Structure 1
Amino acid sequence: MTDAASLADRVREGELRLHELEAHADADVAAEARRLLVEEQSGASLDSVGNYGFPAEVAESAIENMVGAIQVPMGVAGPVTVNGGAISDEKYLPLATTEGALLASVNRGCSVINAAGGATARVLKSGMTRAPVFRVADVAEAEALVSWTRDNFEKLKAAAEETTNHGELLDVTPYVVGNSVYLRFRYDTKDAMGMNMTTIATGAACEVVEDETTGSLVALSGNLCTDKKPAAINAVEGRGRSVTADVRIPREIVEERLHTTPEAIAELNTRKNLVGSAKAASLGFNAHVANVVAAMFLATGQDEAQVVEGANAITTADVQDGDLYVSVSLASLEVGTVGGGTKLPTQAEGLDILGIRGGGNPAGSNADALAECIAVGSLAGELSLLSALASRHLSSAHAELGR
């Protein structure tokens, strides 16, 4: 069997390229050979990176040119009671982060939510999108393509769904800018996040469009999808799961546990999260939803770049009969419990903590449950940070924790 040193020599001699090593040795030996080459070139030691706890071949669908693994500390917040449409239980929330005090803050929010009887969460809309852009001659041809699309949805649906056993095309929304026509395809991808699924399916549908219209495909993604970029269309129309969580906290709990008042939190939320965010022209009207989304994405094997859309959230707070009502609405939370990074052993264990690894019954219910858990975790994080700011304890809390 080829050893790592010999494999590295073949790369140095130009016989092999870095990405070809798995064809000549097993995945762990290939990763070791790359570490040798990188250490030689950079002068860095990769001993810690090379100390990972799963067979490298498990990661082959998740990464190329693997040299090892980065370990991010993972903790849990809770348990917290989630009264969801897809999950109704008390759950620990797995979060992976390097930001000190984050887990402590979310944990405090979970404790207060539990004292109030738990949080309610619901997925209100679901659909992964891909929006190709077509070139036409002029506006008349653009209108013709739009009309054809509306009249031939069933043809597009048949072509798209021929490529997948699980995806379902829900609708196609056209947008015209001059002689560019964008078709925003939206799919139910069940328990998969579905980006690859929708890309392949939309590619097949685009062939039908080109065969039967004057439209010429310029790009399978025309950025109206919109993936991994801040976008108002995701805030309005949603992408992935649109999910909301809320809780009503009795006044005495706010005063005793959070050391502030419902009125102070409601005013702070308006002036900070709503007015302040509007003045900044922010696409997110919240305190730090990205913190929880990112930490739970890392812990459960989600596509971490989609935190951009996941943090597209609005936090509300008001006083109801003297009590505090708080909600968080995440417009475009792209999550899945099958495929991608969910297959990695540590991330699979993160899903196991929530009891939602793999496909759900009915299909899509596990991904819905994950969205609801992330929403409740985000609610806990918002509640805790707003309270710390309202009570002016934020800096002292960080100082006390030494981070």
Structure 2
Amino acid sequence: MTLPTNTADRTPVPRDPTDDYTRDAARLRQEFLTQRSGTSLDHVGHYSLDPATLPGNIEHFFGVAQVPIGVAGPLLVNGEHAQGQFYVPLATAEGTLVASYNRGMKLLHEAGGVTTTIIEDHMQRAPSFIFPSAREARAFGAWLIERFDDIKAVAETTTRSGKLKDIEQYSASRILYTRFNYTTGDAAGQNLTGKATQAACNWIKAEYPGIEQYFLESNFATDKKTSQVNMLHTRGKRVVAEATIPDALLRSVMKSSSELMFRARQVSNLGGFMSGVNNNGAHSANGITAIFIATGQDVANVAESSAAFVHAELRPNGDYYYSITIPSLIVATYGGGTGLATQRECLELMDCYGDGKVRKLAEIIAATVLCGELSLGSAIVAEEWVKAHDAYGRNRP
């Protein structure tokens, strides 16, 4: 392979070494990019936020991506943390998405709302420890159990809101894989758990002889990747949203029926099993991504957060029970992108910004997902799916 000979011609993105988070610094990069590409940046370069608020969120800032935000609602939630009616902001460029979620919200509002329950709340970092043999790895596992309180104390010195709840263990060869499970308050917690676990691992290495090597992350937390271990053991919030819909409502609002919906659900389950999907529902990623963009979540976490288990029942009286379990919903109402101007406003629309609000947001998202699942599912069985996209999803000149 021949390496390029013009590496000296590399022109880096301009930066201001004294203060890179100003309008002047952004304008300098806009002019640089315009000169290099010939592309006008009139829209990218117009924004209302203050660049001084962006350290910790982005580097080389030069503008904004304006994603349209629609609103669906009212969403009626019967949760433990989210109670009442909510208008949900959805940032998307996909026509019909907002309309579909809005239709599902109408259906479930008339059915009495969505009941939401948070089952578990964990965020992980997953270090691995390597030993000369499997027996030594096993002995170390016993020591971890014995010294858990000491490890917990060391980890928690690095954080005000993080609490180490337990350490899972999984052995293979001469390696002990672990998962340090934390609660993280209103933050999503990936950085928090990394810092806390690093401190714990440094202490462990100093206290326990015989560790050949450890790696702070062994890919067992499966950051930003869906996985069976997180679907079973939870990463973020494990939330269940459920509702029972009278057959008459399905007929009048959705032009469907509970019997037809249940038959389609059986076919969909088999299709999902055959194809090996991580989600036997329809499109949870749609609603989750749209809310994530609107509220300043780490959008890459949709890879984990959109995994789901759908369960439905045709009740003896003809009603339709439907639930969705989201085992790895990773959200925050504090830190990260949630404090940016636009994103904060969207969180405040739902009274979900700041301390003590993260479980409320998780329940609203799960309830929204349920509405979208029922809306799309009924559109498919009523043969309205293509017509809806043709009416609302075509960007005509």
Using structure 1 for the length normalisation, give the TM-score: 0.92
1:262 maps to which residue? 258
> Are 2:154 and 1:163 aligned?
no
1:153 maps to which residue? 148
Contact between 2:91 and 2:290, CA under 8 Å: does it hold in 1? yes
CA distance in 2, matches of 1:22, 1:31: 13
Amino acid at match of 2:345: E
Deviations 1:46-88 (A, max 9, x none): 2211111101121221111111110111111111111111111
Amino acid at match of 1:269: R
Distance 1:119 1:171, change over 3 A: same
Contact between 1:131 and 1:222, CA under 8 Å: does it hold in 2? yes
Q: How does 1:229-244 map to 2 (within 5 A)?
A: 229-244=225-240
CA distance in 1, matches of 2:291, 2:127: 30
Distance 1:84 1:216, change over 3 A: farther
Deviation at 1:243, TM superposition (A): 0.1
Identity %: 38
2:320 maps to which residue? 324
2:361 maps to which residue? 370
Deviation at 1:356, TM superposition (A): 1.4
Between the two proteins, the alignment pairs up a number of residues equal to: 385
Amino acid at match of 2:387: S
Distance 1:179 1:19, change over 3 A: farther
2:109 maps to which residue? 114
> Are 2:189 and 1:194 aligned?
yes
Compare the two structures and name the one with the higher helix fraction. Answer: 1
Contact between 1:265 and 1:317, CA under 8 Å: does it hold in 2? no
Deviation at 1:212, TM superposition (A): 1.9
- Range 313-322 or range 228-237, more displaced: 313-322
Distance 1:141 1:74, change over 3 A: same
SS at match of 1:392: coil
CA distance in 2, matches of 1:182, 1:163: 22
Deviation at 1:134, TM superposition (A): 1.9
In structure 1, stretches of 5+ residues that fail to align are 1-11, 361-365
- Range 42-51 or range 78-87, more displaced: 42-51
2:198 maps to which residue? 203
Amino acid at match of 1:384: S
In structure 1, which of residues 217, 223, 228 is the aligned counterpart of residue 224 of structure 2?
A: 228
- Range 20-29 or range 213-222, more displaced: 20-29
SS at match of 2:300: helix
1:383 maps to which residue? 374
In structure 2, stretches of 5+ residues that fail to align are 1-7
In structure 2, which of residues 331, 351, 355 is the aligned counterpart of residue 355 of structure 1?
A: 351
- Range 185-194 or range 129-138, more displaced: 129-138
CA distance in 2, matches of 1:276, 1:53: 47
Contact between 2:21 and 2:55, CA under 8 Å: does it hold in 1? no
1:4 maps to which residue? none
Q: How does 1:1-12 map to 2 (within 5 A)?
A: none
Deviation at 1:215, TM superposition (A): 2.2
Deviation at 1:42, TM superposition (A): 2.0
> Are 2:52 and 1:57 aligned?
yes
Amino acid at match of 1:235: M
> Are 2:294 and 1:299 aligned?
yes
Distance 1:323 1:221, change over 3 A: same
CA distance in 1, matches of 2:33, 2:128: 40
CA distance in 1, matches of 2:17, 2:266: 55
CA distance in 2, matches of 1:330, 1:22: 44
CA distance in 2, matches of 1:110, 1:26: 41
2:340 maps to which residue? 344
Deviation at 1:27, TM superposition (A): 2.1
Contact between 1:87 and 1:372, CA under 8 Å: does it hold in 2? yes
1:127 maps to which residue? 122
Q: How does 1:268-307 map to 2 (within 5 A)?
A: 268-272=264-268, 274-307=269-302
CA distance in 2, matches of 1:94, 1:219: 40
CA distance in 2, matches of 1:25, 1:230: 36
Using structure 2 for the length normalisation, give the TM-score: 0.94
Distance 1:331 1:19, change over 3 A: farther
Amino acid at match of 1:378: V
Deviations 1:149-196 (A, max 9, x none): 111111110111000011100011111111222110010101111111
SS at match of 1:65: coil
> Are 2:103 and 1:103 aligned?
no
Q: Supply the RMSD in Å over aligned alpha carbons.
A: 1.7
1:94 maps to which residue? 89
Contact between 1:160 and 1:169, CA under 8 Å: does it hold in 2? yes
Amino acid at match of 1:262: S
